[in-house]
Amino acid sequence: MIVADPTVELSYFQSVVLGIVEGLTEYLPVSSTGHLTIAEKLLGMPVDAPAVTAYTALIQIGAILATFTYFGRKILRLFLAWVAGLRSAEARKEHDYQLAWAVIVGSLPVVVVALLLKDLISGPLRSLWVVAGALILWSVVMWVAERRHDVLETAGAQRGEDALTIKDGLVIGLVQCFSLIPGVSRSGATISAGLMRGIDRVTSTELSFFLAIPALTGAGLYETVDNIEALKVLGIGPIITGCVVAFIVAYASIAWLLRFVQSNSLVTFIAYRVVLGAIMFLALGAGWLTAT
């Protein structure tokens, strides 16, 4: 267990700013961890301090609660279908049962990798050099995924939610592991993987939301328990404030993104990521920003 560092502080202003950043970027394919790391650095916070690293994971719980609220009925439907399928062979024929297993199976790889590489993820990978590089390099993957989407859409070969399989969940879950690198983006990884699998953009986006629930909840709870003493110094008030702000902003972000992907590609986000990454490289190279 990590002990508290009395030199690390979290003001209400900082918690509100970080809550807004988390809520805006958690589900957009631009990397919430990368943006939080940048914001923490600009706010004068030590980005590699245990308390700050833990708070970066903890604040995601606000975004997760937004997902539960927005998709509450569908999440309950899938859960009930999964439970029914465990009890009845007939219920296992229902697609919701398969979809529930796709989410469960897809959530496991990132949990295993996160535990195995915890020290690397919370240490060296928190460098802004890594964030800048990942923003640009993963944009190439997103661009390739978009091109494949266009080809399949033209050929009428895309699949919707009713054609999702457990294998889809596993493959997308494996790709989600790349999102442990700050700058890649969990939604950017999972949506791109869905598009590469021939799944339409809206379905890929919704699946990305569902896969976020176990991954982010687990990360938030694990970091809270593992760094409880370090978090105490930040104060319960600012922590709760950040989570509440993240919840409100994330809910609006979910609603907006689902409408956006119905008729728009991810090209706008790709361009944004490349520009931001380039600006960061310039700022780091010129000494305007330090990497940690």
Render pLDDT for 141-174 as a digit per residue (tens, 0 to 9).
Answer: 999 999 999 999 988 889 999 999 999 999 999 9
Instruction: Give domain status of residue 292, yes or no.
Output: no
Distance in angstroms (rounded) separating the CA atoms of residues 99 and 106: 10
pLDDT classification of 4: cutoffs 50, 70, 90: very low
For residue 266, is it within any domain?
yes
Residue 97 falls within a domain, yes or no?
yes
User: Among candidates 279, 261, 231, which has minimal Cα distance to 128?
Assistant: 279
Is residue 179 situated within a structural domain? yes
Residue 55 located in a structural domain: yes
- Do 24 and 249 form a contact (C-beta atoms < 8 A)? yes
> Which residue range forms the structural domain that includes residue 197?
12-286
Please indicate, yes or no, if residue 273 is contained in any of the structural domains: yes
What mean pLDDT is reported for the chain?
89
Quickly state the pLDDT bin for 135 (edges 50, 70, 90). very high
Between CA 181 and CA 187, with CA 185 as vertex, the angle to 5 degrees is: 140
Q: Is residue 7 part of a domain?
A: no
pLDDT band at 5 (very low <50, low <70, confident <90, very high): low
List pLDDT tens digits, range 11-36.
999 999 999 999 999 999 998 888 99
Helix (H, G, I), strand (E, B) or coil at 90: coil
DSSP-assigned letter for residue 159: B
Bridge partners (DSSP) of residue 159 are 199
Average pLDDT over residues 113-136: 86
Q: Give the contacts of 4 (CB within 8 A, at least 6 positions apart).
A: 51, 229, 230, 231, 232, 233
Q: CA-to-CA distance for 161 and 207, rounded, in angstroms?
A: 9
Q: How far apart are CA 121 and CA 259, in angstroms?
A: 33
252: number of Cβ within 10 Å? 13
Which of 49-58, 89-98, 107-116, 273-282 shows the lowest mean pLDDT across its residues?
49-58
Specify if 101 maps to a domain: yes
Q: How many domains does the chain have?
A: 1
